[in-house]
Amino acid sequence: MTKSILIDTSKCMACRGCQVACKQWNQLPAEQTTFTGTYETPPSLSTHTWMKITFNEVEEGGKVKWFFGNQRCMHCTDAGCMISCPAGAIYHTEAGTVAIDEKKCIGCNYCVANCPFQAVSFDRATNLPFKCTFCLDRTSNGLQPACAAACPTGAITFGDRNAMVSRASMRVGQLKDAGNRNATIYGLEEVNGTGMLYVLADKPEHYSLPADPQVPFGARLWGVLFKPFRIFVVLAVGLGLWANRAQVKEVEEAKKAQKSSQGVK
Amino acid sequence: MTNHWIDYKNSDVFMNIGGNTAENHPISMKWIEKARETKGAKLIVVDPRVSRTAAVADLYVPIRPGTNVAYLGGLIQYILANKLYHKEYVENYTNATFLINEGFKWDDVTGLFEGVQDNPARNAKGYNQATWQYQRDEEGNVRKDPEMRDPNCVFQIMRKFYAKYSLDNISKITGAPKDVLEESYKLFASTGQPGKAGNIMYAMGITQFTHGAQSVRSVAVPQLLLGNIGIPGGGVNAQRGQANVQGACDMGMLYHIVTGYMPTPQQAAHATLADYNAATPGGYWANRPKFMASMLKAWWPDLRPEQSYPFLPKLDGTDHSHIASYKLMGEGEVKGMICWADNPAVSGPTAGAKRQYQANLDWLISVDLFENETAAFWQKEAGANPADIKTEVFLLPGAAGYEKDGTKTNSGRWIQWNWKAQDPPGDAKSDLWIADRLFKAVRAEYEKGGVFPDPITRMNWDYGDEADPERVDKEINGYDVRTGALYTSFGQLKDDGSTACGSWIYTGFFSDPANPACKKRIKETQGIGSNSNWSWAWPLNRRIVYNRGAADPSGKPWNPDLPLFRWDGTAWQRNDVPDFNAAIPPEDSAKNAFIMTAEGHARLFTQGLNDAPLPIHYEPAESPVANLLYPQATYNPVSQRFYPPTEHTVVNDEERARYPYVITTYRVCEHYQSGIMTRNIPWLNETMPELFIEISEEMAKEKDIANGDTVTIESKRLFNNGEQKGIVAKACVTKRLKPMTINGDKVHVVGMPWHWGYAGMAKGAITNDLAPSVGDPNTTIPEYKAFLCNIRKGGKLA
């Protein structure tokens, strides 16, 4: 059965309980951040931050609005990462979500480049990509994803896609009745449907979501032209990375040294 | 709270004023969102800036910090002028019809009421309240005018008093645009219709002012006019800022009350128990001698109450509030301090001075999860020279909430048992363990002799070798001294020394030790959300207090869909525990709907506070403008001047030019209070890493400040010996704050969270170094929410 996470942005107050719960469940280390003039931290998704709340201030018609987005892997049907993966390491689970098979991954980084949502992050140390897993370890054991379990308002809910879609339609209807002309469901049509569904009270851009996400042309071309010869490409890319392994290690160590010298602020 | 969190789902209109419910009480939003989704409820947020609560509101009203009473006074005026009050409720359940002494008046220029006099001890004004009293006939009954036409009746006095709280004036004072003001008043006043429920929820943005008690009154008065007290979805809902702060107050942790909100005796007036009892008020409080005798019996069971009463500490006329205690410490009067789960070096007003005062202590004990700034005040990180400080500091590691058994009492008065999830780490111990060891050690010393050993050596301390929280709970619950049988109701308590009870309002929460009510976890499957079998709410498991107000005088619920009570002709059908005499016909109990007051009616006009019978607009101690409504009034004239205003606060135009910006302080969702718990959690530091100050884009342009720049913030508290110091923070330049137009002039408002300090993993400057040590004349709560500052670009981060 296809599952979805529904983010009802009209009920999100950006407490970021989800963001911290994601780190706690997945045991992701804290990032060293600074205050840069916005509540939004860390500045971007990373191998240690698989989901984050975005904060967008918008002034329209003399009224200030503060929109809270929920940025992470969208678990696309037409998944740029999956299409472009030369190793076939990225696949759709039974629940329709997008997962990475670490054993098959060759560390080519194409998934990162071909994600229309900038939701995949690459770890040079392990040569692996990381992203929201839809909490497969929880959901396959009858639990909600950690973000949904932590959400105090019911802005994040999890369930069968059909149920989530009808709930989203109901909420959009209510929001429209309450005067939100731009209220819409996001994730029904985009890239042929995404596992993440959003109830948006306003335009997608206000929630840090692209209005019209597209799988890059290169990824599609790759899918058509080169997939039949995948094994050769995998070997070639793997060989190249192996040849570069010393350099990769150097970069990692330099990064580590830099981090520890910053210390705890 | 008069109501409780789950009851929020029954509200039609919410007003969040002086609070930031989404960020500081996130679970409230679950029930607010439920009400919005299921019944189309509306949320109004009144706040100086667009907070995360305002971001999700239906209507946002910007107001200048410190003008809540003006805003709510405007609401009172709007309700009265447009006849939007709940007429039957007001006439029957409030004192609107009562006549006040003909001599009562006020001065529209000075903002003073009749009976004003000097109070040199407080360096402030006080009142002889003789003319604030009710008119009474020969038999002592209050004179009333049921038609509410007599010029001396409360209703007519209010109409006259609030006449100038017009939309024009309130817009000029608060800075809120007139149309937005009116829209908010209209929306909230719509709950004055019978069957509609309006909920005003607030927190420290209402209370932390030199007029804090009047702010709370200005919440209560419109709620009474609209008939929103005692009904599902209504209420005056003080949202507590800590998990168990309600429980702490219930146990008498404040200096001016003992348990169950009985006043602390005063040495001069209440030398004996008979003197204390002679001051017993009317209404249900007439039972107070029983509660006091039972408390004394719980503490000293071997003595008669009148024998043990002298053991109770008495107030000696000296102020023992937070500000005053630290002032005494600065004067060398205080030699030792136990600071228990408290961090005043960050959380107190004028915190920098407090850290210096602490050097006068011989010893300081700090109980906390981590070493906090108060305990670390002598270290060089605090700016101190350790060699100069002689104070001996003891650090006792405490256990966190999930590392100990016991109860927590939430804002809705629910006393919920908390089961320990894991042992505390290392040497950390529960508060009870520490208190038990401390008491036993002190007692052992007194058993060797002392000046006045009896209060300690004869005190009941019967909790076992390893103190058992359940044995403490039984004492709090109350029991028969002879048989030990636990009581189910405070109605069983007596004043003859035969009954013992630690805190009368808790009687019943632990009456069945095998299955105590506070451990019940049965969810309601049908009903209106009372969840009467989930834990236990004081008093008597009553979920909504003053609940006679939920039905009309004949016993019909105002809202038939949400019936708290319904009189079926012979008895009450109930969804809650009655807060009235349910044994008499509804028409009779309607005459005494508010049983806690002597007159049985809710007080629109009150004689109970030191500073005003009706909520009146005073400016904060530091304000950028004069009082528009009362030109000669400055800040609350009754508020104690702890330090000479000329030295401590901004008092003239020259100083206003030096400190031109209004500043307010607040918390963010990601950190908790003084931050000592959350600043030691890397995941939370990642989300809110540093201290910042929110300023408008317009102000940033004027001062050439870019987003993320460092800026220095200065106040008069940091001006010493001709030298101006400041604290440094990162700038958050935002659209969410706008310059305000106050009486025609542009005023900049800025805001800062106050979670940082020099201890812990994430460090930053201490915002409360800026705040003045001024407080409310009734509660002495400090004025953290509105004062003046200056801002300079640049500075070195702490």
Quick check: A65 and B669 CB within 8 A?
A: no
In this structure, how many other beta carbons lie within 10 angstroms of the beta carbon of residue B797? 16
Q: Is A90 left (phi over 0), alpha (psi -120 to 50) or beta?
A: beta
Look at residue B634 and tell me if it is in a domain.
no
Question: What average pLDDT does the structure give for chain B?
Answer: 97
For B166-205, give one letter per residue: b (16+ CB within 10 A) or e. bbebbbbbbbbeeebbbebbebbbebbebebbbbbbbbbb
- Reported as a single tens digit per residue, the pLDDT across A18-59 is 999 999 999 999 999 999 999 999 999 999 999 999 999 999
Distances (CA, A) of B461 to A186, B435, B456, B474: 63, 11, 10, 12
pLDDT at A254: 55
CA distance A170 to chain B (A): 10
B730 contact A CB<8A: yes
Query: What residues form DSSP beta bridges with A156?
Result: A7
Is the pLDDT at A255 greater than 60? The verdict is no
- Which residue on chain A is closest to B51 by alpha carbon? A66
Two tokens, residue B411: 């804002």
pLDDT at A250 over 80: no
How does pLDDT run across B578-610, given as a tens digit for each residue? Answer: 999 999 999 999 999 999 999 999 999 999 899
Report the pLDDT averaged over residues B11-35: 97
Nearest-by-CA chain B residue for A201 = B56
Q: In degrees rounded to 5, what are phi and psi of residue B688? A: -135, 85
Q: Is the pTM of this model over 0.90?
A: yes
Name the CA radius of gyration of chain B, rounded: 26
Is residue B74 pLDDT above 90, yes or no? Answer: yes
Q: Give the distance from CA B552 to its chain's centroid.
A: 30
pLDDT higher than 90, residue A167:
yes
Burial B345-383 (b: 16+ CB within 10 A, else e): bbbbbbbbbbbebbbbbeebbbbbbbbbbbbbbbbeebe
| Binary contact (B56, A37; C-beta < 8 A) | no
Indicate whether B380 pLDDT > 70: yes
d(CA B213, CA B211): 6
Query: What's the distance, CA B504 to chain centroid?
Result: 21
For residue range A106-122, what is the model confidence (pLDDT) as tens digits? 999 999 999 999 999 99
Binned at pLDDT 50, 70 and 90, residue A238 comes out as low
With contact defined as beta carbons under 8 Å apart, do A31 and B707 qualify? Answer: no
Residues of A with Cβ-Cβ distance to B706 under 8 angstroms = 37
Query: Is B657 found in the same domain as B766?
Result: yes
Mean pLDDT of chain A: 90
- What's the gap between Cα B104 and its chain centre? 29
Residue A256 pLDDT > 70: no
H/E stretch holding A8 reads: strand A3-8
Put simply, whether B676 touches A (Cβ < 8 Å) is no
- Res. B69: pLDDT tops 70: yes
A31 touching B, CB under 8 A?
Answer: yes
Average pLDDT over residues B167-191: 98
Q: For strand B723-724 and strand B719-720, is the pairing parallel, antiparallel, or unpaired?
A: antiparallel
Is A50 an interface residue toward B (CB < 8 Å)?
no
- Residue B459 to residue B466: CA distance in whole angstroms: 17
CA atoms of B455 and B469, how far apart (whole Å) = 22
Whether residue B206 is contained in a domain is answered as yes
A10–B690 C-beta distance less than 8 A: no
Co-location of B265 and B345 in the same domain: no
* Interface membership of A211 toward B (CB under 8 Å): no
pLDDT at B342 over 60: yes
Residue B575 CA, chain-centre distance (Å), reads 28
Question: How many contacts, defined by CB atoms under 8 Å, are there between A and B?
Answer: 112
- Residues B311, B327, single domain; the answer is no
| pLDDT higher than threshold 70 for residue A262 | no
Confidence of residue B106 (pLDDT cuts 50, 70, 90): very high
Q: Is A182 on the interface with B (CB under 8 A)?
A: no
pLDDT for B182: 98
Cβ contact, residue pair A66, B736, below 8 Å: yes
Q: Which of A60-64, B43-47, B115-119, B637-641 has the lowest mean pLDDT?
A: A60-64
pLDDT of residue B797: 86
**Which of A228-242, B423-437, B554-568 bottoms out in mean pLDDT, i.e. has the lowest?**
A228-242
Residue B606 resides in a domain: yes
Question: Which of A14, A35, A38 comes nearest B52 by C-beta?
Answer: A14
Supply the CATH number for residue B787's domain. Answer: 2.40.40.20
* Chain A residues in contact with B692 (beta carbon < 8 A): 35
B562 and B610 fall within a common domain: yes
Q: Is A179 on the interface with B (CB under 8 A)?
A: no
- Which of A48, A66, A206, A264 is the mutation pick for testing B, counting most B CBs within 10 A? A66
CA-nearest residue to A154 within chain B is: B30
Q: Supply the DSSP symbol for B621.
A: S
A13 and B682: CB-CB below 8 Å? no
> Distance (Å, rounded) from C-alpha A36 to C-alpha B707?
7
Give the type of residue at B461.
W
Subunit contact A16:B669, Cβ cutoff 8 A: yes
Q: What residues 337-366 of chain B have any CB closer than 8 A to a CB of chain A?
A: none
Amino acid at A208: S
For residue B150, the number of C-alpha atoms closer than 13 Å in the C-beta half-sphere is: 16
Whether residue B683 and residue A57 make contact (CB cut-off 8 A), yes or no, is no
| Type of residue found at B59 | L
Partners of residue A178 in chain B, C-beta under 8 Å = 40, 58
**Residue B425 belongs to domain spanning:** 322-410+414-447
In this predicted structure, the answer to whether residue A232 has a pLDDT above a threshold of 90 is: no
B532 in any annotated domain: no
Same structural domain for residues B341 and B490?
Answer: no
Of B465, B454, B460, B495, nearest to B476 by C-alpha is B460
Tens digit of each residue's pLDDT (9 = 90 or more) over B154-167? 999 999 999 999 99
Selecting from B55, B669, B763 the residue whose C-beta is nearest the C-beta of A66 gives B55
Note the pLDDT tens digit of each residue in B216-235: 999 999 999 999 999 999 99
pLDDT band for position A228 (cuts 50, 70, 90): low
**B56–A10 C-beta distance less than 8 A:** yes
The CATH number given to whatever domain includes residue A238 is 3.30.70.20
Beta-strand relationship, B710-714 and A121-123? unpaired
Same domain, B673 and B742: yes
Least Cα separation, residue A184 to chain B (angstroms): 17
Residue A253's pLDDT band (boundaries 50, 70, 90)?
A: low
Q: Report the residue of B687, B695, B761 to disrupt the A interface, i.e. the one with the largest count of A CBs within 10 Å.
A: B687
State the average pLDDT over residues B17-29. Answer: 97
- Residue A217: pLDDT band (50, 70, 90) is confident
Indicate the pairing of strand A51-60 with strand B723-724: unpaired
Helix (H) or strand (E) holding A156: strand A156-160
Does B188 lie in the same domain as B204? yes
Tell me, yes or no, whether B142 lies in a domain. Answer: no
Closest CA in chain B for residue A54: B687
Residue A247 reports pLDDT greater than 60? no
> CA geometry: angle at B752 spanning B751 and B758, to 5°?
165
- In B161-200, the residues whose Cβ lies within 8 Å of chain A are none
| Residue B175 and residue B297 share a domain | no
Q: Does B35 lie at the interface with A, CB-CB under 8 angstroms? A: no
* Pairwise CA distance, residues B26 & A151, whole Å: 9
Nearest residue on chain A to B680, judged by CA atoms? Answer: A264
Q: Which of B33, B37, B687 sits opposite A20 (nearest CB)?
A: B687
| Partner B contacted by A24 (CB < 8 A) | yes
Question: CB neighbours of B457 closer than 8 A, spacing ≥ 6?
Answer: B443, B446, B447
pLDDT at A171: 97
User: What's the pLDDT score for residue B317?
Assistant: 85
- Domain tally, chain A: 1
Nearest to A59 among B37, B735, B763 (CB): B735
Q: Does B708 sit within 8 Å of A153, measured CB to CB?
A: no
How many whole angstroms separate alpha carbon A75 and alpha carbon A4?
9
pLDDT > 50? residue A263? no
- Can you list the positions of beta strands (E) in B547-639? 565-567, 572-574
Q: Tell me: the pLDDT tens digits for B236-258?
A: 999 998 889 999 999 999 999 99
Instruction: Evaluate if residue B67 carries a pLDDT over 60.
Output: yes
Q: Provide the domain count of chain B.
A: 4
Is residue A226 very low, low, confident or very high in pLDDT (cuts 50, 70, 90)? low
The answer to whether residues B90 and B600 touch, using CB atoms and an 8 Å cutoff, is no
In chain A, the residue whose alpha carbon lies closest to the alpha carbon of B737 is A64
The answer, for B689 touching chain A at a CB cutoff of 8 Å, is: yes
Instruction: ipTM value, please give it.
Output: 0.94
CA dihedral B699, B702, B703, B705 (to 10 degrees): 70
Contacts of B34 in chain A (CB under 8 A): 154
A148 to chain B, any CB pair closer than 8 A? The answer is: no
Angstroms from B39 CA to nearest CA on chain A: 11
Residue A114, domain extent: 1-265
Give the pair of three-digit tokens for residue B400: 């966190």
Q: Is residue B677 part of a domain?
A: yes
Cβ contact, residue pair B735, A24, below 8 Å: no
Is residue B684 assigned to a domain?
yes
- Tell me how close the Cα of A166 comes to any Cα of chain B, in angstroms: 15
Q: Is B385 left (phi over 0), alpha (psi -120 to 50) or beta?
A: beta
Q: How many helices (H) and strands (E) does chain A have?
A: 9, 10
Within 10 A of B457 (CB to CB), how many other CB atoms are there?
A: 16
Residue B635 in any domain: the answer is no
pLDDT band at residue A259 under the 50/70/90 scheme: very low
In this structure, are B164 and B90 located in the same domain? yes
The pair of structure tokens assigned to B423 is 């042992």
